[in-house]
Structure 1
Amino acid sequence: MTEEEKKLLSTFEARLRHLIYLHDELKRENAELKQLLERKKEENAKVWSDYKILETNYTNLKTATTISLNGSDVKETKLRLSKLVREVDKCIALLNE
């Protein structure tokens, strides 16, 4: 093997080692990003769950407030109760299917 071939082989080996190093770094970064994505998905699911609970609580509070009015807004109370009855009817219809 000539001196030039040895030099070329040495350069090739150095570049190959560098590429392997870069590959390992990208694999590590990819694994970290996957973990971060998973944590963010879990956070998002928790926030969504909290949102749903708060939305339900708000709806219940609004219903209780509407019902507890002293007759000042009877029309709104009737509309709200009608809506609740329709929702219950829909649920019963779904259960009967």
Structure 2
Amino acid sequence: MNVDTSEISSKIKQKVQVLVFTYERLKQENDQLKAHQAELENKLKAKELAFNELEERYSRLKLAKAVEASDAEVHEAKIKVNRMVREIDKCIALLNR
């Protein structure tokens, strides 16, 4: 019976060693995966910040283009008003003759 007990004890020790080895390997792999995940999260945050910055710049550019178009419209309106004033001046000059 001593042989059986020592044999069982030896097998249990081997299985425990295998379990400990597997545990250590999986723990190391888990740590590596966590580090990789943290790295990816940092990259994602950086990309989100860059995206938000580009989105803000795009919004400002769109607004600037809208204002620029308004400036062009104002310029065109001034030209039309000046033409009308010249026509009115011509009409007044004709009436004064």
**Offset, 1:71:** 1.7
Q: Provide the alpha-carbon RMSD of the alignment.
A: 1.4
Which of 73, 80, 86 does residue 71 from structure 1 map onto?
73
Identify unmatched segments of 5+ residues in structure 2: 75-97
Relative contact order, CA 8 A, sep 6+: which one is greater?
Answer: 1
Higher-Rg member (1/2) = 2
Which residue matches 1:43? 43
Q: TM-score, normalised to structure 2's length?
A: 0.70
The one-letter amino acid paired with 1:48 is E
The one-letter amino acid paired with 1:71 is E
Which residue matches 1:84? none
Structure 1 segments, 4+ long, off by >2 Å, are none
2: CA distance between counterparts of 1:35 and 1:2? 49
2: CA distance between counterparts of 1:31 and 1:63? 48
2: CA distance between counterparts of 1:17 and 1:33? 24
Which residue matches 1:86? none
Identify unmatched segments of 5+ residues in structure 1: 73-97
The one-letter amino acid paired with 1:67 is V
1: CA distance between counterparts of 2:27 and 2:4? 35
What SS does the corresponding residue of 2:26 show, helix, strand or coil?
Answer: helix
Q: TM-score, normalised to structure 1's length?
A: 0.70
More helix by share: 2
Alignment of 1:56-95 (within 5 A): 56-69=56-69, 70-71=72-73
Identical aligned residues as a percent: 21
Give CA deviations for 1:46-73 in whole Å, capped at 9, x if unaligned: 001101110111011101110111229x
